[in-house]
Structure 1
């Protein structure tokens, strides 16, 4: 196995939590023992929770010493877990190698610096896909080098940069994407299409976006709720209805969601002033999608429907595939 193989595993793990880490980046980390055995492959899962490196360290230590599971269970937050790792590692990871999709952070934010963790545990080498260029977090490679830890940067850099594209975009002002559910034969209408697991994933993303944009025709036809009822404690997003007509039947469920602001406008400019924006709709909305929206999420069901499928000229690059039971999610980039 080569470095690319291990780094791709770390990147694939991070894709499982793409968008769900907002406003943090999706990051993956794989740890090899000094003998070349895969000990763990973990990712950052949510803002405020342990970073990928800490998750991977905890998983690796527990594998090497199962008695540590009880110790780590006592941690109430990432800071406590970090401290317990430093107190109980017993040099089990001395000489190990870490593969990280983003340069380990060097600052103490909501969680402690990952570069320092790898340093204190005695890692021999850290392979990094791409550097962290943010002012507050960069510098992890230098911390490792000063401690005598070998580093290598650039393994699977293109894939890592693609994974990080949403993070850099929303950090710089706006990241917008379009979500659509399709049957196997390309039908996007006629009621529920994707399965429960896919819809739950959509609701988890909805709970994090700054704004949800939907076309007026879709609102009138589908009478959607656009809430986050499938996850516990999810925040329901504000909604922008893109429409030339301002009058809507306010008994449509989306208007009745508590603490939600609904705006009706024939302009999308307000959407691109928000940090993280989700566009939803069917074939017509996709055909008329604003050129500033470059990412496309396709939830594809395992069914065919006897209905009109969408028809348009569109070229995409499939960046990653994920499975939700018998459905598939395609993470795509529009390239024309």
Structure 2
């Protein structure tokens, strides 16, 4: 289950409006595959993991050429030959029980005759819940993992999206805690952030940062991207140079305000800034996402936990470390 959790965190927020979910397929204590849901509308974590496991067991299979959920489901149901009958699948979230943009994962697992299913968190979405009952009704062994508190943390952004809105603060620092002096993280991390920017409703940034850094705040690291977020500049001073690049992005609304009232009807809000802005807006923040580079400027490290946040996951899969914290 921990492998599935780690994999899901690698795509946290990128699956909006869907939850980040990971899955692991195991046969005789051997891990066949670990995968996750990557983007909304694409195959769910279970489907990706089952596809990868099938290819491990059948290296010459044409399944590797299929990419859509419907095609993968159809292929597996026609060609599984009970290959998964002794397999266990670990999933961070109860397999979906409904047909939406993609087919039901619970139905697929049932059709493939998995021996055992271990889930992390029961699905809180009434439209998708009920997968475990579907599986138990055909005598598939179903259990809930002892790591459910970790899978609950993984689901936090999705829960907030469903309830009202989710606000997260993105902070980039060097390993010593310093945040000034130009680019801090790698292009890999910058690209990751640009992917998230294409999904958010509003990006909040402090007025001082805008005046000093003169940022663009676009998605230029993504090929052919034309989606750039609307901007709320949080500032008491309305006097900001309109020649700053962020004002010259097409199809973008830029607001300057010392109030956050304009985000009340928004669902997915990102704040980018430094320690001062974090301390100012900490009461509005659900999750803190910190990119930590290996660079060092010999300054004292900032303790975000002193602001009431606690670490819930550390992603070590990329060059820069990503630390996730919640209130």
Unaligned 5+ residue runs, structure 2? none
CA offsets per residue over residues 112-168 of structure 1, 9 Å max, x none? 000000000001111111100211100001110111111112431100000000001
1:293 alignment counterpart: 285
Task: Confirm or deny that 1:268 pairs with 2:260.
Answer: yes
Checking the alignment, whether the CA contact within 8 Å between 1:176 and 1:272 is kept in structure 2 is no
The alignment status of 1:186 with 2:177, answered yes or no, reads yes
Deviations 1:246-265 (A, max 9, x none): 23211101111111111111
Distance in 2 of aligned mates of 1:76 and 1:43: 14
The match for 1:59 is: 52
For 2:232, the equivalent position in structure 1 comes to: 240
| Partner SS, residue 284 of structure 2 | coil
Structure 2 partner of 1:150: 141
CA distance in 2, matches of 1:88, 1:200: 38
SS at 1:273 equivalent: coil
The aligned runs of 1:158-177 (5 Å cut-off) are: 158-177=149-168
- How far apart are 1:22 and its partner, in Å? 0.5
| Aligned-pair Cα RMSD in Å | 1.8
1:109-128 to 2 correspondences below 5 Å: 109-128=100-119
Q: Deviation per CA, 1:76-95, whole angstroms, max 9, x where unpaired?
A: 52211211111121211112
Q: In the alignment, which residue of structure 2 is the partner of 1:4?
A: none
Is the contact between residue 175 and residue 275 of structure 1 (CA under 8 Å) also seen in structure 2? yes
- C-alpha distance in structure 2 between counterparts of 1:311 and 1:159, whole Å: 22
Query: CA separation in 1, counterparts of 2:299 and 2:244?
Result: 24
Q: How many residues align?
A: 325
> TM-score, normalised on structure 2?
0.94
CA distance in 2, matches of 1:311, 1:62: 45
Instruction: Name the counterpart of 1:327.
Output: 320
How far apart are the structure 1 equivalents of 2:90 and 2:266?
33
Give the Å deviation of 1:311: 8.2
Q: Deviations over 1:31-56 (max 9, x none)?
A: 112x2321111111110110011001
**Map of 1:230 onto structure 2:** 221
> Is the alpha carbon distance of 1:311 and 1:172 closer, same or farther for their aligned partners in structure 2, counting shifts above 3 Å?
closer
1:316 aligns with 2:299: no
2:224 and 2:163 map into 1 onto residues whose CA distance is: 28
